[in-house]
Amino acid sequence: MNNYRLKKERERIAQSWAIVMGGTLFIFLISYIFNLFQFEDFTDYSGPVKITFGSPDSEISTEEMVPVKPLEKKIEEVVKEVAPVEPEIESPPITKEEIVNKTPEKKVLEPPKDIVKKSETKSEEVIKPTEPVIQKGRESGNSHETSFESSSSDIGRRAYFPITDYMPPPTILTSEIYASIKGDVTGFGEVGYNRRIIDRFYFKDGNNYQLIENVPFENRPDVWAIISNAGYDLNKAEYKQGKKLKSVIIVFEISKNTSGVNSIKSAEIDSSSGDKDIDAAVLYGFKQSTYSNATDKDVKGRFKYSFN
């Protein structure tokens, strides 16, 4: 072994001893510090306890010592005094008669009077029928009245054609009426055209003009327009002179969700005037009017035509 290796061997041995000694010293120091700060339990001691603050060699007078009083009573005795236990009392058994007597009676709850009144009022409003809508009018001395079994916002008449336009024309026209025929009445603007219409249904008989045949319903509005414009008084029309005509009543039905032409589903005479030609004219004229029905069901109505 050379000197270099011997020197290194000695250094390793010296380091080992230094580590061992240092570790032992460190362990001793830790143990000392732990014992220095350790708390001492005084629960096993009785009587006065002396606590000294500062250095261990300092003295304290006996006057500063606080005596500890021993417990006068045990914990069990204190608990008994605070909450004494009452002895259990056995209750006598309940009989069936007592159970029946103690059972509360069932009471029938009646609704408040205010609620009853409100419900009755509401039911009356629902049961109350809808008031019919009535439309009235007058024409050439006659009057008419139409009623619907619905509100005015749901159903109504869109176009009305005068019933007098379809009444039977007079059987005799005076020469004065014929001579007074004017143009621009039927829409063509010629006097000759209007007179040809009259000549189609009338012939000259002396000073008057006599009806040849019954005028169809579709031609009656033109005849009435020509002769009324020539001076014929519609209020004193021949068809109602010397007759006691009763009111014509028509019952009808308007189709649901409809408006305009073909809105009338059905219509028939319910009460006659006493003259079948008059009844037919009123029924035909009524059917020329158009109606609207915005509801989801057919609506019934009543039409009354009176001769004043």
What's the pLDDT tens digit per position in 209-247? 999 999 999 999 999 999 999 999 999 999 999 989 999
Q: Show the domain range for 219.
A: 168-236
177 & 228 share domain: yes
**Average pLDDT score, the chain:** 78
- Residues 180 and 268 occupy one common structural domain: no
The verdict on residue 141 lying in a domain is yes
Same-domain status, 151 and 251: yes
Residue 256 resides in a domain: yes
Residue 127: per-residue pLDDT: 46
Total number of domains constituting the chain: 2
Claim to verify: residue 256 and residue 298 sit in the same structural domain: yes
| pLDDT digit string, tens, across residues 117-133 | 444 444 444 545 556 67
Residues 188 and 307 grouped into a single domain: no
Q: Is residue 184 part of a domain?
A: yes
pTM for this entry: 0.57
**Is the separation of the CB atoms in 288 and 297 below 8 Å?**
no
